Amino acid sequence: MTRARQNTVSLSDTPYYHCMGRCVRRAFLCGEDSVTGKSYEHRKQWIIDRLKELSIVFTIDICAYAVMSNHYHLVLKVNKNKAGKLSDEEVIERWMMLFNGNLLIQRFQRGECNAQAELDKAQEIIDSWRERLYDLSWFMRCLNEACITQS
């Protein structure tokens, strides 16, 4: 039985993790479906391109990968220290490569936040984004959701 990542990931023990994603119900991620004869080989490049994109945004290094017909394997190295060394602007820039920022962060970037409450809330958001930049769950979510939406 699988266990949640929060129960299996311990960055103090090791930064390296083997992750995988798979299809269910005889669905094909890549390759040719022997039952229908339909080819999904073009999706392999989607996954590879998305991995390249995510490796630029996240502070998670891709050590190795293998894309099979109905699943893929990744060996990832989580670099928490790198995320901690990023400036607030770098965190915002990286996060907004994948997601839209909110109005408060846009105002923060333009230097329009004057109230301490606004600055505190902006910092809280940036800190949460910084944590997500080295989070395996967020990395896998971004990889898998992109694969699904391109089908």
Question: What letters, b where the CB count within 10 A reaches 16 and e where it falls short, cover 62-93?
Answer: eeeeebebbebebebebbbeebeebebeebbe
Kindly report which listed range (34-38, 82-86, 109-113, 126-130) carries the lowest average pLDDT score.
Answer: 34-38
- pLDDT the model gives residue 5: 58
Per DSSP, 79 falls in state -
Q: Is residue 14 predicted with pLDDT exceeding 50?
A: yes
Q: Is residue 58 predicted with pLDDT exceeding 90?
A: yes
pLDDT digits (tens, 9 = 90+) for 62-96: 999 999 888 899 999 999 999 999 999 999 999 99
Per DSSP, 90 falls in state H
- pLDDT the model gives residue 115: 94
Who wins on pLDDT, 10 or 106? 106
Q: How far is CA 12 from the centre of its chain?
A: 21
Cβ atoms of residues 30 and 150 within 8 Å: no
Amino acid at 6: Q
Q: How far apart, in whole angstroms, are the C-alpha atoms of residue 71 and residue 61?
A: 20
Domain ranges, ordered by start, for the chain: 1-78, 80-136
What DSSP element (H or E) covers 138?
helix 136-150
Q: Is residue 1 predicted with pLDDT exceeding 60?
A: no
pLDDT-derived band of residue 149, with 50, 70 and 90 as boundaries? Answer: very low
Give the mean pLDDT of 106-130. Answer: 95
Q: How far apart, in whole angstroms, are the C-alpha atoms of residue 40 and residue 43?
A: 6
Give the mean pLDDT of 145-151. Answer: 54
pLDDT digits (tens, 9 = 90+) for 95-112: 999 998 899 999 999 999
Among 6-15, 20-29, 102-111, 142-151, the range with the most confident prediction by mean pLDDT is 102-111
